[in-house]
Amino acid sequence: MTFGERFQGRCERAVYPVCLGLDPRVDEMPAVIRESAVAASTGRDDAIRRCIARYHEVAISAVADLVPAVKLQLAFYEQYGIAGMTALLDTIAAARRAGLLVIADGKRNDIASTAKAYASAFLGCPSALGEAGPAFDADALTVNPYLGWDSLVPFAEVAREHGKGLFVLVHTSNPSSVEIQEAAPGGEPIYLRVARQVSALGDEFFDGQGLSSVGAIVGCTFPEAAGIARRAMPRSPIVVVGYGAQEGTLPGCVACFDERGTGAVVNASRSLTYGADMALGSEEDVVTAIRSRTEQLGRGIATALTAAAPSRQPTVG
């Protein structure tokens, strides 16, 4: 199956079109997780790995039957060095056991040879010492298109070969993104040109039926641009970013769904997994809190989709 087919199928089975974002911040994790990790560890690095791995295992268990995917922000793992990257492997394994799609959020890109190495690391099976095997083995990787379109071709080639997917930055959620992404040399905003290329790349490298395996990252903080981007990418799955801590709105989220109310997931990270109410208590309390927040977000999205277009279905499919 292509990534687009897996994305669509997993979303159809999920209760809510929510993507659980995992951005490890060890010192902000619940005390019960940190204390247990330290007690079982052989040193600082081992404690960091155990803390991240266990917290994410708990978070995933809280929502595995509700959501289709997790998005792992690589920078938050990389900041902890080898301990963090080993914990990344642990988190990917936990997500796979739970049946969730894994999106590695690294916004990678470079010239062709380096782009291929990035793609091999997260989507392919790099060869070494006469053997080939997966390194991080994510289902999809976020990529930056602003080095030019030829830089995305190696990612598309590796993704096609291994049945994986891409999510291309189209319009990001940060406030100053408009300075570049909404600039309009020649009369058309740059983000719209990128959106059209995302659609074309999907058609070129992947089957033309159903959802494409080349999707987009779109911020809900700019609802009008989000709607324009969606219409330019009718087959592309979208990961909606910016909701929650970045103050994106539900109308902005709704703009990223297609006319049937499908084809997108809303990512939420800090708003689901961190906060003072999870500082104390048991692991069961943490599970309850994360699940409750996810359900609240999911119900809000479903209500907003229904209000925007009564004929839409409130889940992704």
Q: Which of 71, 107, 116, 164 is catalytic?
A: 107
Nearest to 198 by CA among 168, 220, 172, 227: 168
Is residue 253 within 8 Å of 267, Cβ to Cβ? no
Does residue 107 have an active-site annotation? yes
Beta strands 264-268 and 18-22 are parallel
Which distant-in-sequence residues (6+ apart) come within 8 Å of 270 by Cβ?
Answer: 21, 23, 244, 245
DSSP type of residue 248:
B
DSSP one-letter code for 317: -
Our measurement of the distance from residue 196's CA atom to the centroid of its chain's CA atoms, rounded to an integer in Å, reads 21
Give 145: exposed, middle or buried? Use CB within 10 Å, 0-12, 13-18, 19+.
Answer: buried
Angle at 104 between CA 100 and CA 109, to 5 degrees: 150
Dihedral angle at the C-alpha atoms of 28, 30, 32, 33, nearest 10 degrees? -70
Within 13 Å, how many C-alpha atoms sit on residue 235's CB side?
21
Distances (CA, A) of 287 to 100, 155, 234, 292: 17, 36, 36, 8
Residues catalogued as catalytic: 107
